[in-house]
Chains A and B, each alone.
Chain A
Amino acid sequence: MSLNGCQHLQNYKATTGTETFKIIYSYFITCSTADARRKKAQICKCVKCDVVRPRLHACLSCIYFGCYDLKHIHEHSLEKKHQLAIDVSYGSVYCFMCEDYVYDLELEELSKTQCQKTPMSLGLKQRFFPWEPTEEELILLRCNPKRRRVTEASHIGLRGLINLGNTCFMNCILQSLTHTPILRDYFMADKHACLKNDESEQCLVCEMARLYQEFYSGSRTPFIPYKLLHLVWTNARHLAGYEQQDAHEFLIAALDVLHRHCKEMNGVSGSNPHHCNCIIDRIFTGGLQSDVTCKRCNNVSTTIDPIWDISLDLGPGPIHSSQVLSSIAAAAVNNTSTSQTTASTEFTHSPAPGFTNSPGNYEPTSLVECLKRFTKTEHLGNSAKIICSKCHSYQESTKQLTMKKLPIVACFHLKRFEHSTGYHKKISTFVSFPEELDMTPFMSSSRNNINGHSGPNLHSASCDNKYSLFAVVNHYGTIESGHYTCYIRSLKEQWYRCEDHLIKRATAGEVLNSEGYLLFYHKQVLEYE
């Protein structure tokens, strides 16, 4: 098979040109206008049997449609001596003389541009094209004939990290990030184009890219992430020093620095300052919707905030909620001008960590329970009255948080460290979490004004909102001193336990029975952009 068609196609192109091909293509194969669709609906059927069947072909020499399966188009070709026809469903050209489909570079290019017009005219997303190697990549592939295959038993991508002095909080986050499937794909595909050419040493994103190279190099000795640590220290001063740090705090700081460095790459002049398109935001940012309902007139004031993680309360809750409430009340007062305020100015900054909500007076024992509590309607009491933007009175209200937009990677932070009411302690309650999580009940679209939850959702048949667990960070010890380790999922179902430089195989049961502190879930199905 070649991309130069056959001699019959070349003759056809020389005498007729490509205009007919283009017209047939744009009217009957990839319609991009309403007019074309109307015409296609009217005349696109077999002239012989007047029925729409699969594999309809159109003659390239005259206006004729015929079935391929029933050989009606073959009959036409024989009778009229027309040698070429085009498949109406796929746009491939068939040559009756060669008795097979033929491929021509020029026509392939034409059809590619045509194909992109259809989804555009219907407001659909661009069609997915499988990867095709470019000339350059073909040369590279030919020059490097050795292929590595990932098998069940391979340890590819696993590497221990040396503890540089109480840096287990960093190591477990690095392990979790390097085993985030979509982030790994980004770095392994070499997608980060750094503009800091001369000072790429200063770019944390470049350092992450190097970390991936180290992890996948096949080397089995533990890696020493001293450069990375140094970069984090210089960019997030509050983490500098050899003290024990909170892994969650490190995660947020790391995401923030990565996000800032990506942004510098993209150039701040980039089209819309409110919408960052960097890899970190595309993967980790979700939208949290907060609906504050006035108790008097039922007016709902909605705000949507970008978030990178969801912090879930484990304790009995409402004792310390007053301070949270007053801050919400203050925010709500600022927003009284319009009832539909979307986070606009806030978007210029990084998403704020640690949104909390904890109505109810109980201690949840599972992640789903935590999430139920997180998204439950909360009565903002007497102490948190706000001025309603509609009835302009000083009123009590209710608040409900729901997920407006789900991130690709959802990080759940179980707040095991209680700092709120003067005493500091660690909550070591066992909180169960599933391997597969469906977020549908916690979506804004499932919001029910009356009682918060409408039970199992009816339209949750699709797996659009389903997540799989891929990393768990654990903390051992007390609030003052302790140790972090993590479990990561490599390959499809194999779990590993990472403790600094040690990596051991683990079972899913072990993971699910561990005392989770940070839980990382990955979306099962990705939407196309």
Chain B
Amino acid sequence: MADLQERKLKDAHMRATINQKLVETGERERLKELLRARLIECGWRDQLKAYCKEIVQQKGLEHITVDDLVSEITPRGRSLVPDEIKKELLQRIRTFLAQQSNV
């Protein structure tokens, strides 16, 4: 039990360090731009936009908040991201971490 606790703490610490590195170096922005471009290219953005429009039209513009929309589209948004893009991003993060000797 103590072991598990310790590991969780270590993981959280690691995650924070990695995130800090990504932000500091600007790599996070680069990844974000790459992801943005890829999602546009594969049509993800258009698909989701169409879905949003559908929901807004259904509920009426006056009766909907961003929160409603976010909770409605999040599951579909996640499932629609192509595996290839996830793989590419993961590969980029791996490469970045390999270059950072002091993590």
Contacts and interface: CB of A to CB of B under 8 A. Distances in A.
Bound pair: A and B?
yes
Interface of A: 1, 31, 34, 37-38, 40-42, 44-45, 51-52, 92, 99-101, 118-119, 121-122, 124, 127-128, 461-462, 525, 528
A462 B88 contact: yes
B73 interface: no
Interface string B7-37: 0000010011001110111100110010011
A34 B16 CA distance: 19
A41 B20 contact: yes
Contact of B20 (A42, A122, A128, A462): A42
Contact of B23 (A40, A99, A528): A40
Contacts of B16: 45, 51-52
Given A100-B65, A124-B30, 12 more contacts: A37-B24, A37-B25, A37-B26, A41-B20, A41-B21, A99-B65, A100-B66, A101-B66, A121-B26, A124-B29, A127-B36, A528-B37
B33 A124 contact: yes
Contacts of B61: 1
B80 interface: no
Given A1-B61, A100-B65, A528-B37, A41 B23 contact: yes
Which 7 pairs from chain A and chain B are nearest by CB? A41-B23, A41-B24, A41-B20, A100-B65, A122-B26, A101-B66, A52-B19
A88 B20 CA distance: 15
B19 A122 contact: no
A38 B12 CA distance: 20
Interface in B30-86: 30, 33, 36-37, 40-41, 61, 65-67
B17 to A, nearest CB: 10
Contact of A31 (B20, B29, B33, B66): B29
10 contacts: A31-B23, A37-B24, A37-B26, A41-B21, A99-B65, A100-B67, A119-B29, A122-B30, A127-B33, A461-B88
Contact of A38 (B19, B24, B41): B24
Contacts of A128: 36-37, 40
A99 B63 CA distance: 12
A187 B66 CA distance: 38
A119 B33 contact: yes
Interface of B: 12, 15-16, 19-21, 23-26, 29-30, 33, 36-37, 40-41, 61, 65-67, 88
B59 to A, nearest CB: 14
Contacts of A34: 26
A100 B25 CA distance: 33
A525 B23 contact: no
Nearest to A55: B70
Contacts of B15: 52
A122 B29 contact: yes
A31 B26 contact: yes
Contacts of A461: 88
A288 to B, nearest CB: 27
B20 A118 contact: no
A52 B61 CA distance: 32
A38 B88 CA distance: 26
Nearest to B16: A52
Contacts of A40: 23
Given A99-B65, A118-B29, A37 B88 contact: no
Nearest to B46: A130
Contacts of A127: 33, 36
B28 to A, nearest CB: 9
A70 to B, nearest CB: 14
Contacts of B23: 31, 37, 40-41, 44
A155 B16 CA distance: 57
Contacts of B26: 31, 34, 37, 121-122
